[in-house]
C-alpha cells in the first residue's frame, strides 16, 4: 500500500430535503488497499458509495482523486467502476460480448477486444469456451465473475462494490469472498466494498470502516475493530460479545452487577482502570470466557444458570443467565464441549488480558 491516499473525502455532506444522510464525512482511501464499509441498513453506506462513483452529488464538501478535485466530475469521466448487487449484465449478449462492452464503447478494435476479454476470463477462472455462452445460461457465481471481468475491462483505478454477493447462497458466497481477495492481490487495484456482513469484511479487508447514522464510528484493521472497539455499537456490530456495565470504585477497584472482580494492580497494564465514580463498559468476546471448576481462578468471575446450548459446526455456543437477568455467551470448540446440563448452576471466568474497556458508556 502506498503512503498517500488515492481518494480523499473532506467534510462530505449529503442531504435529501431536510434529511441529512451523511454528516461531514472525512476519509482517506489508500492506493491498492481493500477497504470495506460496513453498517446496518440506513447507516449511509450505499449513499456514500454512490457519491464516490459519481451517481449522487455532494451537498457540501470535497472529493479529491490524488491532486484533482472530482466531486463535480460526471460518473463517466471518473477512473472508477461499480459492481452492483444486480450485476446489470446484458442477458441477450454472450459472456465475451458483456466483458468487451466497455472496450467497444472506447472504440477498441474487435480482435483486441476479444483478446482482452479472454485474458480477463482467465483471470476470473472462466473457461475460454464461455466466450460464446449466453448470460442467461450462466450460474449465479459465473455471472458474478463476468461482472467482475467487465468492471476490470474499464481498467479503473478504483473498483466499488455495492453488496455484490448478498444474493448468493452461503457456500458460493464464501468461495467468491476468497476469490475477490485473491483478485485484489493479483490486480493491485484499489477496492472499496460495501456490505452489511461482518464475515465478508473480516475475510477480505485491509481496513474496515464502521458506519452509523451517516458517520464513521471507527476505521481500522479487522483485529483492532474486533478486539478494541471504540463504542458499544461497534462491539456489538462486530460479532457476538459480552458487555458489562462497570464503575470505578476507588483504589483501582471495578464494580459491576453480577461481576466478581479479582484482578489486582495489574489491571492498569491492560488499560482497564477507572477513576472513582467513572462509568464504562467491560467487553469480553465469548471465545475468551471459560467454565470454571471449583479449584480454578480467574481475574473476573460471573455466576449464572446454563440456559441453552447451540451447535455451530466446529463450535458450540452456550447461553448463561446471570442472577441479574443478563444473558452471556460462551463459545468453545466442539472437542472441548461442556458437560453441564441445561438448568445447572455454572461459574464463568475470564482474564484481564482478554478484556477491553470502553470508557464513558
Question: 322 and 228, same structural domain?
Answer: no
Whether the predicted pLDDT of 154 surpasses 70: yes
What is the average pLDDT across 291-298? 92
Whether 175 has a pLDDT exceeding 70, the answer reads yes
Q: What is the CATH number of the domain that holds 14?
A: 3.40.50.300
Q: Is the pLDDT of residue 4 over 90?
A: no
Q: Which of 199, 220, 236 is the last residue of a domain?
A: 236
Q: Are residues 195 and 315 in the same domain?
A: no
DSSP-assigned beta bridge partners for residue 312: 315
Judge if 28 and 153 occupy the same domain: yes
Q: Determine the pLDDT at residue 310.
A: 95
Contact indicator for 45, 38 with CB cutoff of 8 Å: yes
In sequence order, what are the residues at sequence separation of 6 or more whose Cβ sits closer than 8 angstroms to the Cβ of residue 246? 254, 255, 256, 259, 274, 279, 280, 281, 282
Please give the Cα distance from 85 to 167 (Å, whole number).
Answer: 8
C-alpha cell read off for 331: 463459545
107 Rama class: left (phi>0) / alpha (psi -120 to 50) / beta: left
**Residue 361 pLDDT:** 62
What is the reported pLDDT for 52? 94
Q: Is the pLDDT of residue 2 over 80?
A: no
Residues paired with residue 81 on neighbouring β-strands, in sequence order: 159
User: 43 and 213 in contact (C-beta within 8 Å)?
Assistant: yes
Helix (H, G, I), strand (E, B) or coil at 276: coil
Same domain flag for 143 and 163: yes
How many CB atoms within 10 Å of residue 356? 19
Q: Examine the domain organization and report whether 246 and 353 are in the same domain.
A: yes
Expressed as residue numbers, the domain containing 294 is 240-359
Q: Measuring CA to CA, how many Å separate 258 from each of 185, 272, 316, 339?
A: 47, 18, 24, 23
The average confidence (pLDDT) of the chain is 90
Please tell me the predicted confidence (pLDDT) of residue 90.
Answer: 87
pLDDT, tens only, 29-51: 999 999 999 999 999 999 999 99
> What is the pLDDT confidence band of residue 258, given thresholds at 50, 70 and 90?
confident
Distant-in-sequence contacts of 224-232, Cβ < 8 A, 24+ apart:
226/202, 226/285, 227/285, 227/356, 228/356, 229/283, 229/356, 229/358, 230/358, 231/358, 231/361, 232/281, 232/358, 232/361
In this prediction, residue 82 has a pLDDT band, given cuts at 50, 70 and 90, of: confident
Percentage above 90 pLDDT, the chain: 65
Size of the chain in residues = 361
Final residue before a domain boundary, out of 236, 258, 275: 236
Same domain as 194, residue 115: yes
- DSSP secondary structure, 24-45, as one string: EEEEEEETT-EEEEE--TTSSH
Phi-psi region of 351 (alpha: psi -120 to 50; beta: other; left: phi over 0): beta
Are residues 97 and 19 both part of a single domain?
A: yes
Chain-centre distance of CA 11, in angstroms?
23
Mean pLDDT of 303-325: 95
CATH of the domain at 271: 2.40.50.100
Q: Are 218 and 344 contained in the same domain?
A: no
Same structural domain for residues 75 and 207? yes
Residue range 164-182: mean pLDDT, rounded:
85
Instruction: Please state which of the ranges 84-98, 131-145, 175-189 shows the lowest mean pLDDT.
Output: 84-98
**C-beta of residue 157 within 8 angstroms of C-beta of residue 6:** yes
**Distance between CA 329 and CA 317 in Å, rounded?**
7
Mean pLDDT calculated for residue range 238-250: 87
Averaged pLDDT for residues 116-121: 94
Query: Whole-prediction pTM value?
Result: 0.87
Beta strands in 188-241 (DSSP E): 190-195, 207-212, 215-220
Res. 266 pLDDT band, cuts 50 70 90: low
Same domain, 220 and 261: no
Q: What is the CA radius of gyration of the chain?
A: 25
Closest Cα to residue 330, out of 311, 343, 348, 313? 348
> Does 250 lie in the same domain as 319?
yes
Do 177 and 308 lie in a common domain? no
Last residue of a domain, one of 236, 256, 289: 236
Q: Indicate the angle between helix axes 140-153 and 170-187, nearest 10 degrees.
A: 20
Q: How many domains does the chain have?
A: 2
Amino acid at each position: 500500500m502506498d503512503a498517500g491516499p488515492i481518494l480523499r473525502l473532506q467534510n462530505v455532506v449529503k442531504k435529501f430535503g431536510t434529511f441529512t444522510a451523511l454528516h461531514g464525512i472525512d476519509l482517506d482511501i489508500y492506493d491498492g488497499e481493500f477497504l470495506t464499509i460496513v453498517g446496518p441498513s440506513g447507516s449511509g453506506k450505499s449513499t456514500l458509495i454512490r457519491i464516490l462513483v459519481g451517481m449522487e452529488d455532494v451537498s457540501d464538501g470535497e472529493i479529491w482523486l490524488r491532486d484533482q478535485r472530482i466531486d463535480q466530475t460526471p460518473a463517466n469521466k471518473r477512473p472508477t467502476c461499480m459492481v452492483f448487487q444486480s450485476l446489470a449484465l446484458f442477458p441477450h449478449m454472450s459472456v465475451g460480448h458483456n466483458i468487451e462492452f466497455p472496450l467497444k464503447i472506447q472504440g477498441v478494435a474487435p480482435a483486441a477486444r476479444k483478446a482482452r476479454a479472454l485474458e480477463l476470463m482467465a483471470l476470473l477462472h472462466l473457461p475460454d469456451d464461455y466466450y460464446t455462452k449466453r448470460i442467461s445460461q450462466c450460474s449465479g457465481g459465473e455471472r458474478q465473475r463476468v461482472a467482475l471481468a467487465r468492471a476490470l475491462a474499464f481498467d479503473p483505478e478504483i473498483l466499488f462494490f455495492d453488496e455484490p454477493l448478498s444474493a448468493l447462497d452461503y457456500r458460493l458466497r464464501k468461495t467468491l469472498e476468497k476469490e475477490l481477495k485473491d483478485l485484489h492481490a493479483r490486480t493491485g487495484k484499489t477496492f472499496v466494498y460495501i456490505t452489511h456482513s461482518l464475515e465478508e469484511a473480516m475475510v477480505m479487508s485491509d481496513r474496515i470502516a464502521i458506519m452509523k447514522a451517516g458517520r464513521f464510528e471507527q476505521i481500522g484493521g479487522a483485529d483492532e475493530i474486533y478486539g478494541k472497539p471504540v463504542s458499544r455499537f461497534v462491539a456489538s456490530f462486530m460479532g457476538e460479545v459480552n458487555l458489562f456495565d462497570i464503575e470505578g470504585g476507588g483504589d483501582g477497584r471495578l464494580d459491576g452487577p453480577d461481576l466478581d472482580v479479582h484482578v489486582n494492580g495489574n489491571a492498569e497494564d491492560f488499560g482497564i482502570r477507572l477513576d472513582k465514580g467513572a462509568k464504562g463498559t467491560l467487553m469480553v468476546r465469548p471465545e475468551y470466557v471459560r467454565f470454571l471448576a471449583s479449584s480454578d481462578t480467574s481475574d473476573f468471575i460471573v455466576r449464572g444458570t446454563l440456559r441453552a446450548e447451540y451447535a455451530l459446526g466446529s463450535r458450540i455456543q452456550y447461553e448463561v443467565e446471570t442472577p441479574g437477568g443478563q444473558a452471556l455467551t460462551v463459545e468453545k470448540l466442539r472437542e472441548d464441549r461442556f458437560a453441564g446440563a441445561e438448568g445447572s448452576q455454572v461459574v464463568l471466568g475470564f482474564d484481564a488480558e482478554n478484556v477491553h474497556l470502553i470508557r464513558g458508556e
